């Protein structure tokens, strides 16, 4: 009887261990599905799969180091699965404009061990996320992945400020030591200055990491570093719309100031130069890899790179339409924007989501063009009729449309904010486009139409005596009918 009881208990323990291991593999499968849904432009499914993986990892306490029942190899699998959840959570959340599901405080597990230790299942005691800066002289012993994950955390802190409201929600000026922007920027600078020289971007270091098989992590680390220095900094790039607006008396005065009480025209040379330098660094990296071998081009093609390239292209547009300095020649900015857009377009044959990123940049360019007086109404009619490049391309039409012939992405019925509620400053309209690149095409077109109705030159057209054949003619008729009633 005792033997049977012991045997039964052993069977139960073995069964639990098998189930536990299967659950870890299930988490990994959900992460793969999340990435797959992201690159096929079904972002709502990507968000759900990533969320399921994160919840399962939290249920299994993968973010904790206290469990001693597992072998060194099993412990490392659990660690790596948790950090994979950490990476995918930040990637999906930023791409879909959602809050992060994993808080830094819950990441109390060691950073991944070196590949040799993992392969031989050796017991490993390494650094954690909060003390990696003390181990920057141990690159050969630790590998590049711990530094990459740390950079991801620092990037995520800065990116979260941008997605959670930007300067409209920040109660502190960017130069205030008490503010999150200042603290995050300081942490990024400290980490960057402590990085081993071999982890800083250069063609020579890139070739070195190719030899060691860590080129992908090296590229992503540096893209995250440069992006962290412009993703929130772009919020403080002053636009010129207030200088040209003919309707300043109708604009809510409060909309011209951020939550810290700074005017949207506020200009800080240090922040602007940091943003521009980082954007140029991203552009140079993308250019070098694009002009390299097929392997170089493949290493560049990643969702993290796409996010960095979209921000860089947006800032290049800002330079093109607002800056007149020797450091930022307009012709160079125009060429850089076109190049970054072409890089993203080149991914469309493999990734349907690249269509969404390319659309977003094209719409942002039209918004700038209309806002600063160089656009014509016929250009906007092109977007309004739906004859965009994606649907006209015979090679992309099948990939860019679902079974019903519509582009994927969230639609009007999914709780998307009304674009007319966006503040009427160009700063807010640019944010509205950049923060939601994965909206359905028709939603993005509608938003662009609403944004362009309020730019200064179209207000001038409304008040002119000549009849218009633009999209605003319908608006005039509707308003006139309302006044008659």
Alpha carbon distance 453, 11 (integer Å): 70
Please give the chain's pLDDT, 485 residues, in tens: 544 444 444 444 443 444 456 789 999 999 999 999 999 999 889 999 999 999 999 999 998 887 667 888 889 999 999 999 999 999 999 999 999 999 888 888 999 998 888 888 888 888 999 888 888 888 888 889 999 999 999 999 999 999 999 999 999 999 999 999 999 999 999 999 999 999 999 999 999 999 988 999 999 999 999 999 999 999 999 988 766 554 444 556 678 899 999 999 899 999 999 999 999 999 999 999 999 999 999 999 999 999 999 999 999 999 999 887 777 889 999 999 999 999 999 999 999 999 999 999 999 999 998 888 665 544 555 444 444 443 333 333 344 444 444 556 565 556 677 787 777 789 999 999 999 999 988 889 888 888 887 765 444 443 333 333 333 333 333 333 443 33
CA atoms within 13 A on the CB side of 236: 26
CA distances from 307 to 13, 213, 299, 310, 395 (A): 45, 24, 15, 5, 24
Contact between residue 174 and residue 247 where contact means Cβ atoms under 8 Å apart = no
Q: What angle do CA 151, 277, 233 make, to 5 degrees?
A: 65
Is residue 459 classed as helix, strand or coil in its secondary structure?
helix
Alpha carbon distance 339, 328 (integer Å): 16
Alpha carbon distance 87, 102 (integer Å): 10
Whether pTM exceeds 0.75 = yes
* Residue 414 in tokens: 């999914």
* Residue 30 in tokens: 């959900």
Alpha carbon distance 226, 312 (integer Å): 10
Contacts of residue 120, Cβ cutoff 8 Å, sequence gap at least 6: none
Q: What is the DSSP string of 257-296?
A: B-TTS-BTT---HHHHHHHHHHHHHHHHHHHHHHTS-HHH
């Amino acid at each position: 009887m005792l033997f049977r009881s012991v045997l039964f208990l052993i069977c139960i323990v073995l069964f639990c261990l098998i189930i536990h291991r299967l659950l870890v593999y299930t988490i990994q499968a959900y992460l793969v599905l999340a990435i797959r849904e992201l690159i096929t432009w079904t972002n709502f499914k990507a968000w759900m799969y990533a969320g399921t993986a994160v919840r399962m990892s939290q249920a299994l306490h993968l973010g904790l180091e206290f469990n001693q029942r597992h072998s060194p190899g099993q412990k490392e699998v659990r660690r790596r699965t948790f950090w994979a959840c950490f990476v995918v959570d930040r990637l999906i959340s930023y791409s879909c404009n959602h809050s992060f599901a994993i808080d830094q405080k819950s990441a109390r597990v060691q950073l991944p061990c070196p590949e040799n230790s993992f392969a031989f299942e050796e017991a490993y005691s390494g650094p954690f996320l909060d003390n990696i800066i003390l181990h920057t002289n141990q690159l050969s012993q630790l590998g590049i992945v711990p530094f990459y994950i740390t950079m991801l955390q620092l990037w995520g802190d800065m990116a979260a400020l941008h997605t959670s409201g930007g300067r409209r929600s920040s109660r502190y000026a960017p130069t205030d030591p008490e503010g999150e922007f200042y603290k995050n920027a300081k942490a990024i600078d400290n980490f960057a200055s402590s990085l081993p020289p071999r982890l800083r971007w250069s063609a020579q270091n890139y070739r070195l990491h190719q030899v060691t098989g860590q080129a992908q992590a090296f590229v992503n680390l540096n893209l995250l570093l440069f992006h962290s220095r412009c993703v929130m900094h772009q919020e403080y790039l002053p636009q010129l719309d207030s200088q040209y607006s003919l309707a300043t008396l109708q604009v809510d005065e409060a909309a011209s100031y951020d939550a810290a009480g700074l005017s949207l025209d506020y200009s800080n040379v240090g922040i602007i130069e940091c943003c521009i330098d980082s954007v140029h660094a991203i552009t140079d990296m993308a250019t070098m890899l694009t002009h390299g071998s097929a392997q170089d081009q493949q290493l560049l093609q990643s969702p993290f790179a796409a996010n960095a390239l979209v921000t860089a292209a947006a800032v290049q547009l800002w330079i093109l339409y607002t800056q007149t300095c020797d450091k930022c020649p307009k012709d160079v900015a125009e060429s850089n924007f076109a190049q970054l857009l072409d890089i993203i377009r080149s991914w469309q044959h493999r990734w349907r989501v690249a269509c969404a990123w390319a659309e977003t940049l094209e719409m942002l360019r039209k918004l700038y063009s209309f806002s600063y007086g160089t656009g014509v109404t016929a250009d906007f009619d092109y977007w309004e009729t739906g004859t965009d490049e994606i649907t006209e391309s015979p090679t992309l039409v099948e990939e860019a449309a679902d079974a019903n012939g519509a582009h994927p992405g969230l639609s009007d019925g999914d709780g998307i904010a009304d674009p007319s509620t966006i503040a009427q400053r160009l700063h807010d309209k640019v944010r509205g486009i950049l923060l939601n690149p994965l909206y359905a095409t028709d939603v993005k077109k509608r938003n662009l139409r609403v944004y362009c109705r309020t730019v200064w030159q179209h207000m001038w057209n409304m008040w002119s005596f000549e009849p218009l054949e633009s999209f605003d003619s319908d608006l005039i008729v509707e308003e006139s009918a309302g006044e008659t009633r």
